[in-house]
Chains A and B, each alone.
Chain A
Amino acid sequence: MVINNVKSSVNRSQVATRLLVYLLVIVLSIVFLIPFLWLLSTSLKTQKEIYQFPPVIFPYKLNFNNYYLAVTKMPFLRYTVNTVVITVLCVIGQVISSSMVAYSVGKIKWKGAKILFPFIVGTMMIPTQVTMIPLYIVYTKMKLVGSIVPLVLPSFFGGAYYIFLLRQFFKTIPDSLVEAATIDGAGEGRIFVKIILPLCKPALTTVGIFTFLATWSDFLGPLLYLNKEEQYTLSLGLQAFMQTHYVEWGPLMAASAIFTVPIIILFFFAQSYFIEGITVTGMKG
């Protein structure tokens, strides 16, 4: 009898906690959904409905005219293709190069790591406004302005932010694993590919997603380095809805919605690479 009572009271508090957690998450989700829902709702409104103030949350009828305008006002398909090409290349480059450098300053035991790592982090501290023009001049001398190379090339040389992030994750991998592999005769390359990388899938996926998002929405880069409208990316395309004295909110929201959808899809599916609930580090002896 006593045991049953204890069991049921324990269950009740567990249930209460879980309910609380779910409640919190749902409330917060609604809060976080506001920007996107508002984006969608504006994209489905007619011009008159948009300019109603205070704003209506749900439009009367779903009006897809803005989407039609968004897609026909600018060469949507071409801009999307351009953006995808640049973004995919950047993701590939960034994941490979940043993980390599992170391994060097995070896991390989060599003296240079102590100096190199803070130096890498240091380069993030210089505001880009002052290096923007000299860098542009460097690319001009290399005759690369007017192509997507300046947008893609740097990704293959590692980004300080991602290097830092990956280094922290790499460092959580116990040295014992690395030593074990070394005793077995594995070289650094093998260790990197066979041990480190598989263990850090969440971190690598994170780097991939962040790079994707940063490149997908990059405005200044394409603005500076692309010289023909056929090369333009989606972020530049959004400017088409901003006229001298006003902004065409309906089509802009529709375009933004379309702009955002691939990222959401990508993000959703990339999550299967996040290890959910099961840890791998330290599991092996």
Chain B
Amino acid sequence: MDGFHKERRSGSSMSKMDRSRTKSGILFALPWIIGFLIFSLYPICISFYYSMSDFNIFQAPKWVALDNYRELFSDHKFYLSLQNTLYMVVFGTPITLGAGLLLAILLNQRIRGLSVFRTIFYLPSIVPIVASSLLWLWILNPQYGLLNSILKAVGMKQPNWLMDPAYTKPALIIMGLWGVGNTIIIFLASLQDVPRSLYEASKMDGANAWQQFIHITLPGISSVIFFQLIMSIINYFQYFTQAYLLIGGSTGGGTNGMSGGPENSLLFYSLYLFHNAFGYFKMGKASAMAWILFLIIMAVTALIFKTQDRWVTYGDQ
């Protein structure tokens, strides 16, 4: 607690202050609360009900209690999709966040024409996905593609990024690096919030660039790192669109339009959920998947939240 509160600790005035603060707190949060009640509460509750029903979207749901969950736990594709997704969470998160941070730091070096460069780095995120999916098929083409041509030139192995189950996910991570524009912008904004005075003062104390990074920069942007970390994890757990487009592109959609990529290496959790919901009309099973995912993400996020105090600093700290 800060000093201000301690001073004022005298019975009635504290609770009055508390009450008015609570009122303001609720008032400012009102938009979200109302929005939630109108738009989210019903869909969320009903999806929970669906998760315990046999529901094909069009006919009335039939209550089956925990059958959907039981079915999932004995479904090998459930575990496979979870595994594939965890791969992206565990590898994708540090790689994209790290790259985003590094590039943001690079751009933060008082470069002339910063606006231009920042725009350039953001550009790939703006190109419509449907247009860039073709580009990626060309770049990742194992025989003529740009990436493998470069690898050939430096004498390295040229894997089949599109069809080799061991390389399809790394291919997605590489593609994901082009989308770090978002991350760069957010980190850049937070980097610029770290007071220059701190750097100048530490320089006079003889600190080098690395020390400055560890002791000033990182703590200074830790609140945003926290944000990026959680958002990245939530996003990767729900990874869908890129995989969906890449699969559609390289295999022509599969026999029933519901492929999970080469040997299901790209069968991510959300993709499998989508298959169940709109492909097999098993909305009950899909809803059960959604709730399991919710619990998993919640657990992971709660864990990170708990560690918050240890490494995230705000404001004056």
Binding site for B on A (CB under 8 A): 18, 21-22, 24-25, 28-29, 32-36, 38-39, 53-55, 97, 100-101, 103-105, 108-113, 116, 118, 120-127, 129-131, 133-135, 138, 154, 156-158, 160-161, 163-165, 168-169, 171-176, 179, 187-189, 192, 202-203, 206, 209-210, 213, 217, 235, 238, 242, 247, 249, 252-253, 256, 259-260, 263-264, 267-268, 271-272, 274-279, 281-283
Contact = CB atoms under 8 A, between A and B. Distances in A.
Q: How large is the interface on B (under 10, 10 to 19, 20 to 34, 35 or more residues)?
A: 35 or more
B194 A213 contact: no
Given A130-B283, A131-B44, A259-B128, 7 more contacts: A18-B109, A100-B30, A104-B29, A134-B46, A138-B38, A157-B38, A247-B134
Q: Which 8 A-B pairs have the closest CB atoms?
A: A157-B35, A110-B25, A104-B28, A131-B43, A134-B43, A202-B189, A104-B29, A188-B24
Interface in B275-317: 277-278, 283, 286-287, 289-291, 293-294, 297-298, 301-302, 305, 314-316
6 contacts: A54-B144, A100-B28, A122-B294, A134-B46, A271-B114, A281-B193
Nearest to B284: A130
B255 to A, nearest CB: 17
Nearest to B180: A32
B124 A32 contact: yes
A58 B84 CA distance: 39
B171 interface: no
Interface string B16-50: 00100110111111111011101110111011001
A107 to B, nearest CB: 9
Nearest to A156: B31
Contacts of B57: 133
Contacts of B301: 118, 121-122, 125
Q: Looking at B130, B190, B273, B283, which has the most chain A CB atoms within 10 Å of its CB?
A: B130
Contacts of B181: 32
Nearest to B130: A238
B79 to A, nearest CB: 18
B131 interface: yes
A125 B44 contact: no
Given A35-B178, A169-B190, A206-B186, A217 B128 contact: yes
Contacts, number: 270
Dominant SS among interface residues on chain B: helix
Contacts of B226: 168
B111 A123 contact: no
Nearest to B1: A109
Contact of A154 (B4, B35, B195, B234): B35
